[in-house]
Amino acid sequence: MVISEKQDEICEPNQDQMIQKLVFPEGILLESGKKIVPLEIAYQTYGQLSEAQDNAILICHALTGDQYVADVHPVTKKPGWWSKMVGPGLPIDTNKYFVICTNVLGSCMGTTGPRSIREDIPQPRCWGSDFPAITIKDMVNTQKILVDFFKIKRLFAVIGGSMGGMQALQWAVSYPEQVYSVIPIATSSFHSAQNIAFNEVGRQAIFSDPDWRDGEYWRYGVTPYRGLAVARMMAHITYLSEDALNRKFGRKLQESIKASSLPIFGEMFQVESYLHYQGSNFVRRFDANSYVTITRAMDWFDLSQTHDGDLVNAFAHVQSRFCVISLSSDWLFPTSRSRVIVQALNRVGARVSFVEITTDKGHDAFLLEEPDLDLTIQGFLAGIEEQRRLENHAS
């Protein structure tokens, strides 16, 4: 099934570092009916898989995340995006658990995506904007190929925040027997009109950059970095709460600026330079076609859609234990959306707990220092481990 662990071959030269990946020559059949052949899955693992193969935790990343959960990112050289949560002795303890994280299908850190070389045509070239539309379910199906490859019959837990939470929910629905527990954080069972609207403005910012060139920018050695930076800056505002922005920046001016000089152009307020920094950092590591592809996958996400529009039907066959977590100041995926999930799970008699973390840090709080979140995840995992031990004992 696997032909090689090979070095990355992607269109942009800055990405040519060694990325751990597996190649599945049979590819993947997408929800749309299209096929991607071959399929490459880039992933990182932490800890050791137990002999019983019962200690695996799959972590699903968000829109712009990647597989570098707990080790240094090869492009940015920054610590992994959840290195506060995952590691030896941390809430998701790699001394106990075998943690897997894959770069999602359609992304740009090694798993097949728009920046990958398309090999199913006579003259191999970048997928670019010919990359087919994918869904959250396609991302999950990709992860399942890797999980099956590792011969893991049942994941001890699937955990993810934001779009990662969508994948976690999809796992519970698509593969009920393969998921012992699920922790969906700051997420939703569907993308709302406002969510879609923000994504669409981000895409329009990319499309309006002349270097977008109908998605064929890689042919010309350019990248629509201005549009992508605008998309990122806007999205970044939605990841933070108003209170967090006020606390962090308020109306503080850049040191070089005097209010009396009243400039129009350039950075005046500290919040502006922070946004510019977010935008310019992002474009160094992310691909515009991936951004378009993945935001569309989020927009299409509605767990109830293939179940007569009823979330209760979608959850009818779940077997997992759930710990649904929301963040009180998250206005992108507010607590009310988690409540919808919990209510539907209750309706099907699922084992579900629900915690709203009180924080003023907004949607991004799940990535930040948030002791209550740590305690919640750690406690839930310890609880279900105990429960499983009792179950195994009884059987």
Applying CB under 8 A, does 208 fall inside the site for a second copy?
A: yes
Q: What's the rounded Cα separation, in Å, for the pair 29 and 89?
A: 39
Q: Are 301 and 190 in contact (CB under 8 A)?
A: yes
User: Which candidate in 107, 326, 338, 363 is catalytic?
Assistant: 363
Please pick, among 66, 138, 302, 330, the residue that the annotation labels catalytic. 330
Residues in 133-192 that interact with a second copy by CB under 8 A: 133, 135, 190-192
Round to whole Å and give the CA distance between 349 and 148. 28
Confirm if 58 and 171 have CB atoms less than 8 A apart. Answer: yes
Three-state secondary-structure class, residue 353: strand
DSSP for 266-330, written as a single string: S--BHHHHHHHHHHHHHHHH--HHHHHHHHHHHHH-BTTTTTTT-HHHHTTT--SEEEEEEETT-
Say which of 116, 162, 181, 241 is annotated catalytic: 162
Strand partners, 125: 118
Nearer CB in complex with a second copy: 51/308: 308
Of 66, 302, 364, 385, the residue at the interface with a second copy (CB under 8 A) is: 302
The site string for a second copy over 233-272 (x = CB under 8 A, - otherwise) reads xx--x--x-x--xx-xxxx-------xxxxxxx--xx-xx
3-state secondary structure of 232: helix
232 labeled part of a ligand binding site: yes
Return the number of the residue (40 or 209) whose C-beta is nearest a second copy: 209
State which residue, 245 or 316, has the beta carbon closest to a second copy. Answer: 245
Identify which of residues 83 and 305 has a Cβ nearer to a second copy in the complex: 305
Q: Tell me, yes or no, if 243 is annotated catalytic.
A: no
Is 138 known to sit in a ligand binding site?
no
Q: DSSP letters along 76-124, please?
A: T-PPPTTTTTEETTSSEETTT-EEEEEPPTT-SSSSSSTTBEE-SSSS-
Q: Which of 197, 368, 375, 382 binds a second copy (CB under 8 A)?
A: 197
CA distances from 112 to 10, 103, 251, 320 (A): 9, 9, 43, 29
CB of residue 372 vs a second copy: minimum separation in angstroms? 24
Tokens of 173: 């629905």
Among 149, 150, 331, 354, binds a second copy (CB under 8 A): 331
Binding test (CB under 8 A) with a second copy, winner from 46, 97, 127, 198: 198
Among 52, 121, 193, 394, binds a second copy (CB under 8 A): 193
Judging by DSSP bridges, how do beta strands 56-60 and 98-102 pair with one another?
A: parallel
Contact between residue 273 and residue 302 where contact means Cβ atoms under 8 Å apart: no
Q: Cα separations (Å) of 127 from 71, 112, 143?
A: 29, 9, 21
Nearer to a second copy, 130 or 177 (CB): 130
Q: Which residue, 135 or 359, has its beta carbon nearer to a second copy?
A: 135
Using the contact rule CB under 8 A, the part of the chain among 70-78, 117-125, 201-209, 340-348 near a second copy is: 201-209
What are the residues whose beta carbons fall under 8 Å from the beta carbon of 144, sequence distance 6 or more? Answer: 174, 175, 178
> What Cα–Cα distance (Å) separates residue 292 from each residue in 199, 214, 367?
9, 12, 23
> Could you say whether residue 6 binds a second copy (CB under 8 A)?
no
Active site positions, annotated: 162, 330, 363
Binding site for a second copy (CB under 8 A): 31-32, 129, 132-133, 135, 190-194, 196-198, 200-201, 204-205, 208-210, 226-227, 229-230, 233-234, 237, 240, 242, 245-246, 248-251, 259-265, 268-269, 271-272, 275-276, 279, 292-293, 296, 299-300, 302, 305, 331, 334
> Residues at the annotated binding site for substrate?
232, 364
